[in-house]
Structure 1
Amino acid sequence: MSVSFLVDEPTGAPLAQLLLAHGAGAPMDSPFMDLLAAALAARHVRVLRFEFPYMAERRETGRKRPPNPMPVLQSAFRDQAGRIDAPFYVGGKSMGGRVASMLAAEIGASGFVCFGYPFHPPGKPERTRIDHLQELGCRGLIVQGTRDPFGKPDEVAGYALDPALRLHWLQSGEHDFKPLKASGLSQQGLITEAAEVAAGFMRGI
């Protein structure tokens, strides 16, 4: 099956438009992405999902591929952004959010939203990926689980991030927003919370 673009239309007129990229290991129609897109659409956000070249090839061949080099990922994101009308926001899950945050100002987005940002590789907090987050050219939002191995609250608190970047922490969530059972929370609930915060951010609330 060849799928290059998915659009989740809200009921009624959209209040915001989001170009949304997937993470490194799962496609644009993974269960997480489906739940997130549906929750955003329910909050009047028009969501446009696409796949990077390596993931599109995986869909065609069935063989797993590592992510493309960053310049290729960025070029693919630029191409997709050129297909939609302004105003729009950009965002993504993990790696996709990182690419979006690096390009948002350049491609004229109103801002960016990252769902589970990879501040550093798990177990390697010294290898940060924050240089571009220290001086932004637009507004940004990162929604992060408090148990995310790619960046926890005590680690992120020590970063000198641009004041235009907003952080929202999901209690007990890990990288896919799955909470501890003992928390009494659910992944669906945390994804809903993430969508609510993101929709408010894009509507300027």
Structure 2
Amino acid sequence: MRIETSAGPAEVDIARPSRKPPAFLLVLTHGSGGGTDAKDLLVVRDSALELGGAVVLVTQPYRVAGRRAPGRADVQDAAWVEIIALLRKKFRGVPLIQGGRSNGARVACRTARTVEARGVVALSFPLHPPGKPEKSRREELLAPSPIGVVVINGARDPFGIPDPADAAEVHIIPGQAHSYRAGFEEIAATVTPWLERWSAP
């Protein structure tokens, strides 16, 4: 389905569990030039569904429009808040968790307190542009505090690796870069117990 936002239409793919109501609502989004078909996002989706959560994969307006760069952060964040507001109406009274990979993780962190998320899943959080550690985005990663953030990054990520003190949990997958070619079982093993806190009957 499509959701109209101030930045243009977004597309959402909703997966519902068999249990009603769902244990929680997990909203995930993609990186700058990618899509919601990234395997790490799908692994997190499947883990959440197994725990009885509803999962929404969001294609943000700039990608629906065919652009690879997200543009201004304030415009991107405002559209995200609008998307979450509509989804909350569909899943009333259900705990919200949000997240994404790379740029999507940044959006999830920046908006977590505004939308009153219970937690954030940050896949391949881009701590800084490649080769420019002085341009740290650590403040974005810390923005959700005291909301819990679980970070999963590859050990060879050129965008940097967050420090363990920067999030509730930081997990590093050996041998992986910014886009994962392996380690998907480890991603599932990391997010499953982290999501289970919202999946109690």
1:66 aligns with 2:69: yes
The 1:31–1:15 alpha-carbon spacing in structure 2 relative to 1, beyond 3 Å, is same
Partner Cα separation in structure 1 for residue 148 and residue 192 of structure 2: 14
- The change in CA–CA distance for 1:128 and 1:198 in structure 2 (over 3 A counts) is same
CA shift, 1:160, in A, is: 5.5
Residue 196 of structure 1: CA displacement? 2.9
Q: Does 1:202 align with 2:198?
A: no
Is 30-39 or 123-132 further displaced after alignment?
A: 30-39
Q: CA deviation at 1:96?
A: 0.5
State the distance in 1 between where 2:45 and 2:165 align: 31
Matched, 1:146 2:149: no
Other structure's SS at 1:4 match: strand
Q: Does 1:171 align with 2:174?
A: yes
d(CA) in 1 for partners of 2:186, 2:176: 11
> Structure 1 residues 8, 191: closer, same or farther in 2, change over 3 A?
farther
TM-score, normalising length from structure 1?
A: 0.78
CA deviation after TM superposition for structure 1 residue 31, in Å: 4.8
The answer to whether structure 1 residue 113 and structure 2 residue 116 are counterparts is no
Identical residues among aligned pairs (%): 27
| CA distance in structure 2 between the aligned counterparts of 1:119 and 1:112, rounded to whole angstroms | 16
Task: Give SS of 1:113's match.
Answer: strand
Mapped contact 2:51–2:196 kept (Cα < 8 A) = no
RMSD: 2.5
SS at match of 1:24: coil
Q: How far apart are the structure 1 equivalents of 2:178 and 2:77?
A: 22
Structure 1 portions without partners, runs of 5+: 59-63, 179-186
Unaligned runs of 5+ in 2: 3-9
Q: Secondary structure at the match of 1:19?
A: strand
Which whole-Å CA distance do the structure 1 matches of 2:31 and 2:59 have between them? 10
1:8 aligns with 2:15: yes
Q: Offset of 1:42 from its aligned partner? A: 3.6
Q: Report what 1:91 is aligned to.
A: 99
Alignment of 1:19-168 (within 5 A): 19-58=27-66, 64-82=67-85, 83-84=87-88, 85=91, 86-134=94-142, 136-152=145-161, 156-157=162-163, 161=166, 165-168=168-171
